[in-house]
Every structure is written in C-alpha cells, then in structure tokens.
Structure 1
Amino acid sequence: MAELGSIENSLLAARRVLSSSLEKSRDLASQLDKTGLRLEDINRRLPSLELEIATVGHKCCLLAMRGRVDRAVGPAAAVLKVFDTVHGLEGLLLSDAGSDLFHYISLVRQLEEALRLLTSNCGLVIQWLEDILQFLEDNKVDDCQYLLNVRKSLRILGELQAAEQRSRVHGGPLFVAFDKLETEFRHLLLENSFPMAFSPTFDADKVCSSALPLPLPVVQKLQAIIERMSANNRIENCISIYVEVRSSNAGTSLQALDLDYLDRSLSEFDSVQCMEDCIDRWGNHLEFAVKHVFEVEYRLCGNVFQKLDPDAWMSCFAEIALQSGMPGFIKFGRTVTKGKKDAIKLLKLLDIFAVLNKLRLNFNRLFRGKACVEIQTQTRDLIKKVVNGACEIFWELSVQVELQRQSAPPSDGSVPRLVCFVIDYCNELLEDSHEAILTQVLEIHHSWNQEKFEDEHVSKQVHSVVSAIELNLETWAKTYEDTALSYFFMMNNHRYLSENLKGTKVGEVMGESWLRAHQQAMEYYLALYLRSSWGKLPAHLSEEGLVLLPGGRAGGRDLVKKRLKAFNQAFDDNYRKQSNWIVSDKSLRGKTCQLVVQIIIPAYTSFIQNYYSPLVERGGTSPTKHVQHSAESLDNMLSSLFQPKPAKFGSTKCTHLMDASGKSVSIRV
C-alpha cells in the first residue's frame, strides 16, 4: 500500500512539470513571434540608428577634447594681453631717447621682456593647438570649419611668435630703438669730450689722478646704454663709436703739441742740435701723452665698459692709443736709432732710453695683455735697437779716438777740438743721470748675451778713451816741424788735461797722481818752449866786444847796430810766427806772456841803455833808424800774444766730434 502511494505521488508531480513546460513553450512561441516582428522593425530602422550612434560618438570625441581646449585658453588669453602691451611699448619708443634716457632704456627693457613673454606664450599655445589638431586628425573629425579655424590660429600664433625676431631686424621697433641709443651714445661722447691742454710747466713725474674727463652723470648714462646694448649683442657698434670719438679727442690733444717732427726722416734734421732739441721735446711730449692723455683714456675705458670682459675694453683702449698717435712716438725713436753711429748719438740713445725707462711701469700697466700686443712689440723693438746701438757705440769709443790719430794737429798749437769734445763727452757720460742709465743699458745688454756684468765697465772705458787721447797728443806733437810749436802744443794740452779735469768725473776716474803728472808735464814743456823759442833772442843782444875803449867807438857802433838788427829780425820772425798761436787757458796765457816779457824786455832795455844810446845816439845817428820798438811797445806786443780767436772758440760746447785740426768727423762703428 505504501509503495502504490509513492508511485501515485510521483506521477502527479510529473504531470505538473509537463503542464508547466507546455505553458512555457506556448509563451516562448508567442514571444518569438513578437521578437521576429521587432527584428524586422529594427532592421528597418538600423540606418537611422547608425547615424544617431555616429552623432553621439562625435559628441563624445569633442567632450574628450574639452580638457585640451581648456588648457590652451589661459596661454591664449595671455598672448592677447602681452601683444597689447608690446604694441603700446612700441608706440612709446617712437619718442626721442635723449629726452629721458633712463626712462627710454627702461621702456626698451620692458619691450624686450614683453617680446620674450609673447614668444614663450605663443609657443605654449601652439603646442596645445597642435595637440588638438593631431587629436582631431587621429579621430577623423571631418568638421572642415573647425579644422580650418585651428589651422588659422596656429598660423597667426606662429607669426606672433616671430615678432621678437622681426623687431630686432632692420626697421623693427627694437632695431630702431637701439639705433636711437647708439645715436645718443655718440651725442653724449661728442658733447662732453674736450682736448687736454699741454703746459710746458706740467709735472711730467706726476701721473694724472684727477677726476674722469666726463661728468659722472654722463658716465652713468654711457654705462646704462652699454649694458643694454651688450645684452642685445650690439656692443660692437658702441665700441666703434667710442673709439672713433675718444681717439679723435686724444689725437687733437696730442696734435696741439705740434708733433710734425715725429714724421721727419733722418735726412730732414738740419743739425745735431736740431735733433737734440727734438729728442728733448719728444721726451716731454711722450710723458705727457702716457701719464696724462692715455692714462685718462685708460681709466675712462675701464669705467665706461666696466661690466664687459677686461679684454673687450682693453681692445677699445688699445685702438684709441693706436689711432690717436702712439705709434708716431715709437717711430721717431726708431728714426733716431737709424742715424750714423757717431759718439753724440750715444747720448741721444741714452736720453731715449731714460724716457722709456722712466715710463716703463706706466707702459706695462697701460699697454698690457693681448689687446696691446702691437704697441708692446713696437716698444720692445725700439728698446732693443736703443740698447744694442748704445752699447755698440760705447765699446768702440776708444778705438774711434785712436783712428783720429792719423789726422793733423792744429796749426796754432792749441788744444784740438777732438780733445775738448772727448773730455766734455766723457764728463757727460759720467754725470749721475747718464752714468746710471748707461750702466743699466750695459747691464741689460750683458744679460741678453748671458755675459757677466761689472760695475766698473763705464769708468774703465772712460779711462781707456782718455788714455787714447794722451797717445794721440804725443803722436800729433811729433808731426810739427817746428820744435817750439811742438813744445807749445804739449804745454797747452797738458795744461788743459790737468786743469779742466780737476774736480770733474773724468778727473776722479784718472786720479790725483795723473792730474799732478800733467801739471808737471805742463811746466816742463813750458820751459822747453821758452828756451827753444824766445830764450834764443837775448843772445843777439850780447855785450861781448862792446867794452868802451879809447879809439874803438866807431867799431862799437857798427857792432851794436848789427846786433840790434839781428834781434829785431829774430823778434819779428818769432812774433809773426807766434801771433797766430793760441793759448785758450787765460791763466796759462798770462803766465806765458809774462815769462816771455821777462826774457826779452830786461835784456832789450839793458842793451839800449848801456850800448845803443852811448854809442849810436851820441854819434848823431837817428834813434828811430835802428830801434824799431820801444821797451813799452815790446811789452804790449808780447802781452797780447796767444789770444783765442772768437770765431773759433766762441762756443764752449762741442756738438759733434772733431779731429785734431778742428775738422768735423764722426765716430762710426
């Protein structure tokens, strides 16, 4: 019974399931019928649906681009504002730069900054627009108007981005503004640059330390312009303007000194004295140029261009020095070095070296660095020529004095001009100023040749030169045919050496014993001269055979006449011959004349009084027939001997070397 109940229940459950499934099948069939109708309807509406979906997709794309557009809006607005600012500043820069220079420079700076900002913002906006354009092209957006607007915007922004570059080219606003600043730069320099006046009494030893030649406000304006131009790579124009104006101003300062002599050739100097005068002027003018004109230009360059690289403003200063006339000074010095290598040239070279040496520190400070290499090279070359030329002449002095030994001595027995020149010349060399410079020159020359230098070089060479003069004198004395004249010549020259060197630098070099030896030699040759010349005349007035004896009066008269005639003849010959002889030393001349008078007058007076008057005058003979001179006239004649000729000894300074006879010669090496 239980099993039957269980089966019945199972069948009832299966029935219910089948009934439910049948109902669902009928519902599904009904739904399928409806779905088929819908599918047919959808199929009919599909094209329009596709269109709607595409529209929705396009809107979704634009919505995705919204962020990019928003990011571009800010810079784009900034571009518009900056462009308005640029346009306004360009209008303000049309005004005159000189009316308010600092304000004008401020406007220029603002325009530069605005243009840079415009370029920067344009670049940022262009970057976002290019990104948007790329997105549209990638998503195949075919809205032509929209794409055209984007591309047009990019083109406009590209033009705005190039505004700064266009502003700097010829005719652009910045270019015009910079031109105005350069014009104002020139104007400030021209209006405030004045030549520096030279005074013969200026202190050459004092470097110009006064204020700058331009007022401080002017310097500040120049600095402001320099700073702006330098920031825009237009500094070269300002440097050119500065060099042009300041070199012209410095050149005017120097040309006021009358520097025509700097361009003379060696043949155009009229005389040694003319060249010496020019060298003196050259020294003063060069010191004025370096310590005042170029010193001021150096400090002004450094001040105006202080924010530039030192090499830049040093190049500016170097150009000013070159264009205003510095090479002319060096050229003159080189011209002097090309002259004949005679003795006087040594002193001129020493003078040139002294000036250059005095300015050495100034030269090293002013004309330093690569910018001034041309001036440095020219100056070094000049110093080299001066040193080598001076040393060459100095070491050949004694040799050149010896070469004059073959010349003839003075016919009047005087001191040869060569002797005067050489002694005066050696004294000049030994002057404190010249000796110090000469010693320095010799020391430099030795160092160049890696030779040992001795402090006694100068004194030894002077000693050698004077010794050569002594040998010349001895040689010349032997060439006289007249022995008395030879003694007279030696007397004169020993006197000159002993007296003229006493208390001099040359005398110190030669020593006291040397001076005393020449004094003794003078006395010795004076005695020889008197004995060989005037000392022979009293023999003609001998008393031998003139004793008054009865009956011998007539014979005595003839002998007196004969001896008096012989004396007159000898006296006249001596006087005529020696009337052209010269003793330039006044003391020696007086002494010599006095000794001659002492030899002649007493003997002559005694003879006239003791023999001529008693034997001849009392015999009725006219006294003027045999007595040609009175004792007084003889005294006057003898006392007036040996006077120097004004034309020959009117000048106490030798300006060039003479040989023994007085003929001009040159010491050459």
Structure 2
Amino acid sequence: MRSICFHPKTPSFASPLRTATAPPKQSSRRGEGSSSGGGRLSDSVIDKIIQETREMVEKWDPEATTYARVTSLFYENKREAAQFIKCVNGLHRAMHALVTKDSSSPKLEDAQGLMVTAMKRLQKELFQILSMNRAYLDPESVSARSSRVSARSSISDYSNDGLPEDDARVVGDSIVEVEEASTVAMEDLRSIAECMIASGYAKECMSVYHVVRKSIIDEGLFRLGVEKLNHSQIGKMDWEVLELKIKRWLDVVKVSVKTLFTGERVLCDHVFGSSNVIRESCFSAISRDSAMLLFGFPELVARSKRSPPEKVFRLLDLYTAISDHWPEIDSIFAFDSTATVRSQAITALIRLGESVRAMLADFEASIQKDSSKTVVPGGGVHPLTVHSMNYLSLLADYANILSDIFPDRPPPSKFPLPESYFNSPHPEDGEISATSQRFAWLILVLLCKLDVKAKRYKDISLSYLFLANNLRHVVSKVQESNLLSLLGGAWIERHEGKVKQFTLNYERLAWEPLLSALPEDPSAEITPAVAREHFRRFSASFEEAYRNQSSTVVPNPNLRDEMKVSIARKLGRAYQTFYNTHRMTADATTIRFTPDDIGNYLSDLFFGSVDSSNPSLSSPSPSSHRRRSGSSH
C-alpha cells in the first residue's frame, strides 16, 4: 500500500495530461468558433468558400441521394474526404467573418444550413468508420500500435520462432495490414473529431463515439466473463464456484488493464488530442462503469465470510494482481473524472489486506485452540503439523506481498519470541524482517502446541520421538520452500540440533537401559554362570524393548536411517563384544539372539507395522529385512 499510495505517476499517460495545450475556446453559438484572421476575409472570398462548400456538402448529403446515403466518403475517396474537411473548416472561418461583419446577413443563415448538413455527414462518417473498423480499432490492435513495435521486428520474431520464411512473411504481411488499417482509421477519426469540435459540434461527436466505443468495452468484459455481482450473491456462493470466478478474474484483469483499457485510452487520446477536456470526458464515460465493475469484484470477495482457510491464498492472488497492475491503473485512469476507479482499486487492496490479516489471526488462533486429544500412534507426525506447515510453506510464496500487508508489524506481545530465537552465528546477515519474524512466530506457536500434545504419551520415550518426528517435518518443509529464505540457515541449524537432542533422549530412554543387562566392560572375564545370566537378562530386556517400540514410526527416511545407525552403534557394538567374548561359555538355549539377529530386528523398526503379538520373538526373515531396508530409501 505504501508503494501504491506514494508511487509517482507513470509518464505514458500522465505526462501528456500536464503538458497538452488547452482546448480551443468555443463560442456560445454553434458555428461561431474563433478563427485567426477570419474577420479579414473579403465578401468575394466568403462567397467562393460558401459556393465550394455547397457543392461538396450537397454531393455527400446523406438525405439527397441514395449513393451518398449508402457510401462512405472516407472509404471511397481519401482525397475528396480531405477536401470535404477543408471545405468545412473554410466554411467555419467564413461564418466567423460574417458574424464579425454583419450577424444578420442572409449569407450567415445559408452557411449555417450547410454546416448542419456537413455535420450530419461527418456524424455518419464517424459512425461508419468506428463500426466498419472494429477489427482494426479493437483495443488489442490499438494498444499494440502504441508500443511502436515495427512490422519488421515482428516478422523477425516469427522467423526466429522457427516458422518457415514464407509463413513468416505471411504473418508479417498480416501484421503490417492490421497496423496500417488501424493507423488510417485512427487518423480519419481524428480529422473528423477535430473538424466537428472546432465547428462547435463536440457534443454530437462525443455522442457517436461514446455509443460505439462503450459497447466495445462492455462487450469485451462480458466476453471475458466479468459479471455484475453483489455482496449477497457472493456470500451465497459455494467456495468452489467462487474460487473459479476468482481464477477467471485473475486472467481477465491482465487482459483488461494491458489491452482493453490501455487500447481505449490510446485511441481516445489520439482521436481527441486537440482537447484535454473532451478526451477526459469521453474516456471517462466509456470506461468508468466497466472499470468499477472489474475492480469491485475483489472487494466483494474480501468481504465474504463463508470460505475455508485456503481462501487466504486467493485473496493474496487478488492483492498481487491489483498491486502488480497499479502503475498501469494509475496511469490509464489518471483523470480526475476517473479517480473513482483508482479509489475502487485501492479500496479493494485495503479490504483484501484486512481480510488476509484476519484470516492469519484465525489461523494462529486455530493452532493455539486445537483441542484434539488424539495421540498419533507410534509417535508419528501429527495432522496439525502437516496442515500447518503446508499452509505456511504456501504462504511463504507471498512473502513480498505480506510485507506490504504487515508493514513493520511485530508478532503479538502476549506470546513473545525468546530473545535468542533469531541469534545468528553470522552477524553480517543483518536484521530479521518483520515478515520473517511473523513466520517464525507462527512456527513457534505450532511447536509450543506440539510440546503440549507430546505430554499425552504415557511412554516418555515416545513423547520425545513424537517431538523429533514433528520437528523434523517442520524443518523439512522449511528447507524445501521459500520459508528457507525467510528463516535462514541459522534457523535450520538450530532446529536440526533440537531434532538431534530429541532423538538422543528417545534412544536414552528406550534402548540404553538394555546396556545395564550387560557387564560394564563387555570384554571382562566372568564366570560362565554370570555370562549366562547376562545373556538371559539381555534377551528378556531386548524382547520387552522391541515389543514396546515395535509400533514406533519415523516417516522421514533420513532421520529413520540416522536413528537406526545410532541405536545399532550403541547397542550392537556392546552386545557384539560381549557375544564374541562369552558365547563359548553359554549354551544355545541361553543365547537367544546373535548380533546379526539384533541388527535385523533393529532394521525393521520405525515403520510402525512390526507384528509383536508373539511373546517370543524369532529372527526376521532375510526377505523381510531386505524389503524394509529397501523401503527406507
């Protein structure tokens, strides 16, 4: 909003408005416009002008002959059309001279009659040119013309795209044809408009132009799918239907701003270039209602209440579209009479921003108020974690827009971030933005909620595994999304360290007690009876621990492998040493597990699907071991 409200006007349309000359002054009476030197015309010159004009006007009087009624002067004979305009301009000068000499002269009444007939002809020509050249005066052709891209460069572009040379020439010829037809039509319209305005018939000129061109704008928006909707209709729509309309609007606004309204503004500026007042009035009358309809839709969507949390992404899309196109909107509708269009676009941004802030507040509240008592089996990833991180990772794609919606606004003070939360080992990284703090805040709210949910596990080791799994999921989502650029490497390093600490706590509580069943020094000499007792205690302890941990799950394959290696290193190494040293002193019934058996059992852990219903465990089959090992990668 700051960049929009204080953005300098783009020069494409704004500059000419400041530098254009004022429109010529019009006389209070029709046909009595000012004319430099008009009063110095002699009677003979005036008579000659009136006679030449009479011949030209009567020839093309649409009520005089069928030929004149059905034929276009500007289409049939450009030279004669130019002569017609010249005669009318001369007649205007002659009328001004007559008024100066004798305002009651019969010649003046005669000239006025000719002027009325001439204006009817020009009105007809104006309508015919606008109607017959719709294809060449469509906004796309006009807006493309304003970019001043030459036909030669267009042909080169098509050739470079891989079209055969002959095809490229055909395409190029077509482009040239459209540009030439568009240019000719625009010049004809301008000459007619200047003549009618100078002669005091601006109202009639604008009326014809308005009728034709407004229908084109209205039809264009209708074909693009823009509908006239109200707040009640939007509020009653199913979200799926409304979302489709939003997606269509996002496509429509690009075409409307860059082609439809831009082309109309270019055409209007060209045709009525002689008068700032008239071109403003005409463009405003043609485009204002349609533009208000177009930019009113986002505000209606922002005000609607019935929608899912995912609505925030569509709101951000709407906000982005208006924000990205604001320079063009501000430039195209720079007139005072179209200020309502600019105001409507800004109002839509304000409403969208308010809705986004409200929805993110609701999102944060939904995390804090989550009261589900479900304990995820095996210490897996909680649905709240999955949903929240999917939401935040998508939200991070709109970080630039969110920095506009939440300018320098810190997280709520009622739940402050720890002072060390953003401590970075690299001071040169600079200060953390308000947007980054907001994302870190929301993740912290989630982690605090997960701490509460971890306490629901009766087995403390499972609570640590739950925290490790969920924090690992959070870190992974940050790493694979734009959250990484917001939170930074120091955040990742710090939270990976927390994951490591959680896993160590889990291993300490779940597996390290087995080491107490072995001698402090596994390789020390002991009696066979003591060795057999250690084997029995270790076997019993391992069976119990395995049964307790058989349903545990670690979804992240990398974390799963790291934990298996860590447990095997601590447990397997000690048992391997004890087994190698004392296996000869114990009988087969005492030694329930070999070191390889221990490794195989451990490799089957953390998939959450191990069958531990039998009180006595047997060694996993090699095929099972290979299957699970393969599925972990």
What TM-score bracket applies, with the shorter chain setting the length? 0.5 to 0.7
TM-fit CA distance, 1:104: 3.1
Q: 1:359 matched to which residue of 2?
A: 325
Q: Trace 1:440-589 onto structure 2 (pairs within 5 A).
A: 440-443=404-407, 457-495=434-472, 518-535=495-512, 570=544, 573-574=547-548, 576-578=550-552, 581-584=553-556, 586-589=557-560
Q: Aligned partners of 1:215, 1:406: CA distance in 2, in Å?
A: 66
Paired with 1:602 and 1:77, the residues of 2 have a C-alpha distance of: 124
Cα distance in 2 between the residues matched to 1:499 and 1:120: 88
Local SS of the residue matching 2:605 = coil
Q: How many correspondences in the alignment?
A: 497
Distance 1:529 1:368, change over 3 A: same
The Cα shift of 1:491 comes to 2.6
Matched with 2:83 is: 103
Cα distance change, pair 307–423 in 1 and its aligned pair in 2 (3 A): same
Match of 1:388 in 2: 354
1:261-283: CA deviation from partner (whole Å, max 9, x where unpaired) = 999957454399x67x955x755
- Which of 1 and 2 has greater Rg? 1
Give the corresponding residue for 1:61: none
Q: Which of 351, 368, 371 matches 2:334?
A: 368
Q: Does 1:638 align with 2:588?
A: no
How far apart are the structure 2 equivalents of 1:567 and 1:460?
Answer: 47
Shift of 1:589: 0.9
Q: Choose from 548, 565, 572 the match for 1:594.
A: 565
Cα deviation, 1:16-53, whole Å, max 9, x if unaligned, reads xxxxxxxxxxxxxxxxxxxxxxxxxxxxxxxxxxxxxx
2:240 maps to which residue? 270
Give the gaps of 5 or more residues in structure 2.
1-41, 151-177, 411-430, 610-633
Q: Does the 8 A contact of 2:138 with 2:263 survive in 1?
A: no
Q: 1:161 to 1:352 in 2, by over 3 A?
A: closer
Query: Could you tell me which amino acid in structure 2 is paired with residue 105 of structure 1?
Result: I
* Change in CA separation of 1:209 and 1:402 when aligned onto 2, cut-off 3 Å: farther
Mapping 1:183-332, distance limit 5 Å:
183-187=127-131, 189-190=133-134, 192-194=136-138, 196=140, 208=147, 210=149, 215-247=182-214, 249=216, 265=234, 267-270=237-240, 285-308=252-275, 310-322=276-288, 327-332=293-298
Name the amino acid aligned to 1:404: D
Cα distance between partner residues in 2 of 1:261 and 1:565: 77
Offset at residue 226 of structure 1 (A): 1.1
- Asked if 1:177 corresponds to 2:121, the answer is yes
Q: 1:278 to 1:409 in 2, by over 3 A?
A: farther
Alignment partners' CA distance in 2, 1:490 and 1:282: 43
Structure 1: gaps (5+ residues): 1-74, 126-156, 447-453, 550-555, 646-669
The superposition leaves residues 91-112 of structure 1 with CA deviations (integer Å, 9 ceiling, x where unpaired) of: 4235442333223334555666
Q: Which amino acid aligns with 2:190?
A: Q
Quick one: distance in 1 between partners of 2:134 and 2:587?
103
- Counterparts of 1:53-92 in structure 2, within 5 Å, are 88=55, 91-92=58-59
Q: 1:102 to 1:270 in 2, by over 3 A?
A: same
Identity in percent:
18
Using the size of structure 2 for normalisation, the TM-score is 0.60
> Are the counterparts in 2 of residues 222 and 304 from structure 1 also a CA contact under 8 Å?
yes
Contact 1:196 1:253 (C-alpha < 8 Å) held by counterparts: no
| SS of the residue 1:480 aligns to | coil
Specify the SS of the correspondent of 1:196: helix
Per-residue displacement from partner, 1:37-89 (whole Å, max 9, x unpaired)?
Answer: xxxxxxxxxxxxxxxxxxxxxxxxxxxxxxxxxxxxxx999999999878755
1:438 counterpart (394, 399, 402): 402
1:450 maps to what in 2? Answer: none
Conserved? CA contact 1:594–1:639, under 8 Å: no
User: 2 CA distance for matches of 1:235 and 1:376?
Assistant: 27
Go from structure 1 to structure 2 and tell me whether the alpha carbon gap of 1:412 and 1:265 turns closer, same or farther (over 3 Å shift).
farther
- The structural deviation recorded for 1:569 is 5.6
How far off is 1:306 after superposition? 1.0
Determine the structure 1 residue equivalent to 2:344: 378
Structure 1: how far apart are the matches of 2:581 and 2:46? Answer: 141
Per the alignment, in what secondary structure is the counterpart of residue 240 of structure 2? coil
Matched AA of 1:186: L
Q: Distance in 1 between matches of 2:494 and 2:45?
A: 108
Q: CA RMSD in A?
A: 5.6
Q: 2:206·2:282 contact (CA, 8 Å) conserved in 1?
A: yes
- Identify if the C-alpha distance between structure 1 residues 407 and 253 changes in structure 2 by more than 3 Å, giving closer, same or farther: farther
Q: Are 1:86 and 1:115, in contact at CA under 8 Å, matched by a contact in 2?
A: no
Q: Distance in 1 between matches of 2:261 and 2:539?
A: 83
Q: 1:600 to 1:408 in 2, by over 3 A?
A: same
Q: Structure 2 vs 1, CA of residues 123 and 538 (structure 1 numbering), >3 Å: closer, same or farther?
A: closer
Q: 2: distance between equivalents of 1:86 and 1:521?
A: 94
| Deviations, residues 215-269 of structure 1 (Å, cap 9, x unaligned) | 4333222122112332455434443443444455556766776778999957454
Find out whether 1:401 has 2:372 as its counterpart. no
Tell me the distance in 2 between the aligned counterparts of 1:342 and 1:333. 17
Partner of residue 134, structure 1: none
